[in-house]
Amino acid sequence: MESLRVDELQRFVGGPQAVCLLDVREGWEVQTARIELPGTRSLHIPMQTVPARLHEIPRAQPVVCICHHGARSAQVVAYLMRQGYERVYNLAGGVDAWSLQVDPAVPRY
């Protein structure tokens, strides 16, 4: 499984292909804090609903999975890989690390 550190995410997003940010947290978490980056497509699909909504997750572009600390998103990355997705990445440390290391304007919870 490939992971991206939060300091790598901005460079990754600036690459040649559009990136999908897949937020697998619950709705209240997304309302509390979110990562928004220009040039990305953001999807909010809570972890438990990923299997039913698999058709919404693009296969033709890299997908970076995001959660609060990186544990749930790691599980989703593993699941997507088992479903044949090739370019899926876990954001190590999640939204919390993003808030601490990149953008302190993103609330911590």
Spatial distance between the Cα atoms of 45 and 29, rounded to a whole number of angstroms: 12
Query: What is the model's pLDDT at position 48?
Result: 97
CB 39 within 8 A of CB 61: no
Query: What is the model's pLDDT at position 11?
Result: 81
pLDDT confidence of 10, banded at 50, 70, 90?
confident
What pTM, to 2 d.p., does this model score? 0.94
Query: What is the model's pLDDT at position 21?
Result: 97
Domains, the chain, in order of start with CATH, read 2-101 (3.40.250.10)
Whether 67 is a known active-site residue: answer yes
> How far is residue 34 from each of residues 20, 52, 78, measured CA to CA in Å?
14, 23, 22
Sign of the CA dihedral 76, 56, 62, 67? Answer: negative
Side-chain half-sphere CA neighbours of 11 within 13 A: 5
According to DSSP, the β-strands at 88-91 and 63-66 are parallel
- The answer to which of 32-41, 82-91, 97-106 has the lowest mean pLDDT is 32-41
- Summarize pLDDT for 63-101 with one digit per residue, the tens: 999 999 999 999 999 999 999 999 999 999 999 999 999
Sign of the CA dihedral 2, 67, 93, 14? Answer: positive
Query: What is the model's pLDDT at position 12?
Result: 82
Please tell me the chain's helix, strand, coil percentages from 3-state DSSP, rounded to the nearest 5. 40, 20, 40
In this structure, the chain runs to a length of 109
Query: What is the model's pLDDT at position 72?
Result: 98
Amino acid letter, 68? H
Query: What is the model's pLDDT at position 104?
Result: 95
Query: What is the model's pLDDT at position 13?
Result: 83
Which position among 67, 74, 95, 97 bears the catalytic label? 67
On the question of pLDDT at 15 being above 80, the answer is: no
